[in-house]
Chains A and B, each alone.
Chain A
């Protein structure tokens, strides 16, 4: 039985809907997962520390919560988080270890649904829907 990889929340944090007219309101996509996988990944505190500034924190917390993996993450980043290993481990878990194998991503503005199948989100739009 071959294990199936899934979309990580780090990736989700970068994804934004590109339906015509939506612009920056296409972020963040709402996740609905029917199959989730949790797979361990080597913890690298430097990686996590440096990645946090590149993330939209609120969106990350919301996404984790919607999957039931909030893990007591604070809604707002606290100062000095770089030295809090406990905190970094939780962020690591949420960014890299929780994977959506089956489900949908929904554009918050237009409601358009993008399927996730076998871990791969399909973000293709029809010509009508796409931004010119």
Chain B
């Protein structure tokens, strides 16, 4: 098992258990010296219901098989440490952590006292060293989280640099701060944006950095790690789910955290921590992990928020569900701030995306988000004023100004009635929507992915359109506590005929 860790960042030589391959003899601070064949288990939180989609993305981008946890919204997969940067390129993942240990069938003692004592004892017995190595490598990928006001001050300094050529990846920190700066600049120019995005914007860039990290020795380490006398700050976050636990998550976090503190001699800090230890308890399953993401990635491409902005990870999952093919024309006819088309343009650049909404404010925000995406990709590839395959239009979903059968895919978040619109309006809106969508969608090959909370209304509207739409798959999701569903529909090969032109009753399937 692992050896005792020192208080400093120096990680000592370790011996691994039989399951893992041997590590190199010399384990230092620098990421480039880390054993590249070291295998680790990564845990990822994903939007509930999209575990399979995320697993598909992991297999596609990392070549790893995933385990889908019974604890909904989590998947686990093994990778070699050298693939760590690629993990940050996953678009269906909200948060990432490295697994310290999993207990599939943890035996809880009878009394709270005993259970908590066990948690305390656990701290010293866990195999921390490899996960901590991974944490360290991961930390070197990204700049330490800076206080927001510092970035604001950098605004004026870096503004000049925005248009400079950023061809080589050696200036990793510079690029990171430009991206963040641009995002902030945009935020400051808008009214009701949420300021949590700065750190999120650069997570996309992390996957572009690996070669630079591997070549440079220690150049990209944050200042904190260079001061070896600095003690690490940490906190423990406990998520507990299950009916038969005699303890609360706070109690577990407190006692486990106390033991962790004693073991490592780290300093506890709830807000400004370096290491976030996760203690996830789901019935009899316990997973101890170390967080690899500081804030959720799910708002990554959106800089201009609206009242109901969809998570980027959910937008990605929905798009993936309909398997976009190259050159597919993909529209979101009720795009809001454009979360779905933006994600589409970022991840499926060989398709063509259109963001439409009837609300002028929404369309304006979508257009601004498109511009932000444009700017980001410009910085990344040193392309000033290049375009992306995406446009924004103001239109009415019930009366789309599009040629019949001209669109391949429709992906949209339909009005819920609780956050926007009303249940009564949905009653009329849904059938009109579905009809107009069936008109513009290409017969035979077209498909639609629709998110809605008003399942009853949707089911009723869909039942009258069996000759045009076939329901292929349903994903049950959770949107901010509301139960919703994502429906994957396929367009039948029946050519659209306006109901008024029909001479007889429609046949239903």
**Nearest opposing residue in chain A for B404, CB measure:** A24
Q: How far is the CA of A27 from the CA of B393 in the complex (A)?
A: 17
0/1 string, B327-358, CB within 8 A of A gives 1: 10100000000000000000001101010001
Contact between A123 and B395, CB atoms less than 8 A apart: yes
Smallest CB-CB A-B distances: 7 pairs? A50-B327, A123-B401, A39-B387, A11-B391, A122-B394, A123-B395, A41-B387
Cβ of A2: which chain B residues have Cβ within 8 Å of it? 371, 375
Chain A interface (Cβ < 8 Å from any Cβ of B) = 2-5, 7-8, 10-11, 14-18, 24, 26-27, 39-42, 44, 46-47, 50-51, 54, 56, 96-97, 99, 114, 118-125, 130-131
Q: How far is the CA of A50 from the CA of B328 in the complex (A)?
A: 9
One of A3, A15, A96, A124 near B402 (C-beta < 8 A):
A15
Given contacts A119-B367, A122-B360, 11 further A-B contacts (CB under 8 A): A14-B329, A17-B401, A39-B386, A40-B387, A54-B406, A56-B403, A120-B394, A121-B393, A122-B394, A123-B393, A123-B396
Contact between A14 and B406, CB atoms less than 8 A apart: yes
Q: How far is the CA of A121 from the CA of B400 in the complex (A)?
A: 13
Known: A15-B401, A18-B399, A130-B399. A54 touches B329 (CB 8 A): yes
B363 CB to nearest A CB, Å: 6
Contact between B401 and A11, CB atoms less than 8 A apart: no
A96 CB to nearest B CB, Å: 6
B383 at the interface (CB under 8 A from A): yes
Contact between B367 and A18, CB atoms less than 8 A apart: no
B200 at the interface (CB under 8 A from A): no
Q: How far is the CA of A97 from the CA of B386 in the complex (A)?
A: 9
Known: A5-B371, A44-B350. A120 touches B363 (CB 8 A): yes
A54 CB to nearest B CB, Å: 7
Contact between B401 and A51, CB atoms less than 8 A apart: no
Known: A3-B374, A18-B401. A11 touches B393 (CB 8 A): yes
Cβ of A131: which chain B residues have Cβ within 8 Å of it? 399
One of B360, B371, B387 near A96 (C-beta < 8 A):
B387
B385 at the interface (CB under 8 A from A): yes
B362 CB to nearest A CB, Å: 11
**Nearest opposing residue in chain B for A26, CB measure:** B401
A59 CB to nearest B CB, Å: 10
Known: A15-B401, A15-B402, A120-B392. A50 touches B326 (CB 8 A): yes
0/1 string, B177-203, CB within 8 A of A gives 1: 000000000000000000000000000
Q: How far is the CA of A97 from the CA of B363 in the complex (A)?
A: 21
Contact between B393 and A47, CB atoms less than 8 A apart: no
**Nearest opposing residue in chain A for B327, CB measure:** A50
- 21 contacting pairs across A/B (C-beta < 8 A): A3-B371, A3-B385, A4-B371, A7-B393, A10-B391, A11-B391, A14-B402, A14-B403, A14-B406, A14-B407, A15-B403, A41-B386, A41-B388, A51-B352, A97-B387, A119-B367, A120-B393, A122-B394, A123-B396, A124-B394, A125-B396
Contact between B329 and A118, CB atoms less than 8 A apart: no
Cβ of A51: which chain B residues have Cβ within 8 Å of it? 327, 352
B389 at the interface (CB under 8 A from A): yes
Q: How far is the CA of A15 from the CA of B392 in the complex (A)?
A: 12
Q: How far is the CA of A125 from the CA of B364 in the complex (A)?
A: 18
Q: How far is the CA of A119 from the CA of B371 in the complex (A)?
A: 11
Q: How far is the CA of A124 from the CA of B387 in the complex (A)?
A: 26
Cβ of A10: which chain B residues have Cβ within 8 Å of it? 352, 389, 391
B370 at the interface (CB under 8 A from A): yes
One of A40, A118, A124 near B395 (C-beta < 8 A):
A124
**Nearest opposing residue in chain A for B398, CB measure:** A130
**Nearest opposing residue in chain B for A55, CB measure:** B406
Cβ of A39: which chain B residues have Cβ within 8 Å of it? 385-387
Cβ of A24: which chain B residues have Cβ within 8 Å of it? 404
Q: How far is the CA of A121 from the CA of B392 in the complex (A)?
A: 8
Known: A3-B385, A54-B329, A123-B394. A16 touches B367 (CB 8 A): no
Cβ of B374: which chain A residues have Cβ within 8 Å of it? 3, 5
Q: How far is the CA of A123 from the CA of B395 in the complex (A)?
A: 5
Contact between B394 and A41, CB atoms less than 8 A apart: no
**Nearest opposing residue in chain B for A4, CB measure:** B371
**Nearest opposing residue in chain A for B389, CB measure:** A96
**Nearest opposing residue in chain A for B384, CB measure:** A3
Cβ of A17: which chain B residues have Cβ within 8 Å of it? 401
B399 CB to nearest A CB, Å: 5
Cβ of A119: which chain B residues have Cβ within 8 Å of it? 367, 391-392
Q: How far is the CA of A99 from the CA of B390 in the complex (A)?
A: 11
Contact between B352 and A40, CB atoms less than 8 A apart: no
**Nearest opposing residue in chain A for B363, CB measure:** A120
Cβ of B399: which chain A residues have Cβ within 8 Å of it? 18, 125, 130-131
Contact between A118 and B367, CB atoms less than 8 A apart: yes
Known: A5-B374, A41-B389, A54-B406. A120 touches B400 (CB 8 A): no
Q: How far is the CA of A4 from the CA of B368 in the complex (A)?
A: 9
A33 CB to nearest B CB, Å: 15
A124 CB to nearest B CB, Å: 6
Known: A41-B386, A124-B394. A16 touches B363 (CB 8 A): no
Cβ of B367: which chain A residues have Cβ within 8 Å of it? 5, 118-120
Cβ of A5: which chain B residues have Cβ within 8 Å of it? 367, 370-371, 374, 387, 391
Cβ of B395: which chain A residues have Cβ within 8 Å of it? 123-124
Known: A14-B407, A44-B350, A50-B327. A99 touches B387 (CB 8 A): yes
0/1 string, B427-466, CB within 8 A of A gives 1: 0000000000000000000000000000000000000000
Contact between B350 and A47, CB atoms less than 8 A apart: yes
B380 CB to nearest A CB, Å: 13
B12 CB to nearest A CB, Å: 49
Within 8 A of A (CB), among B86-110: none
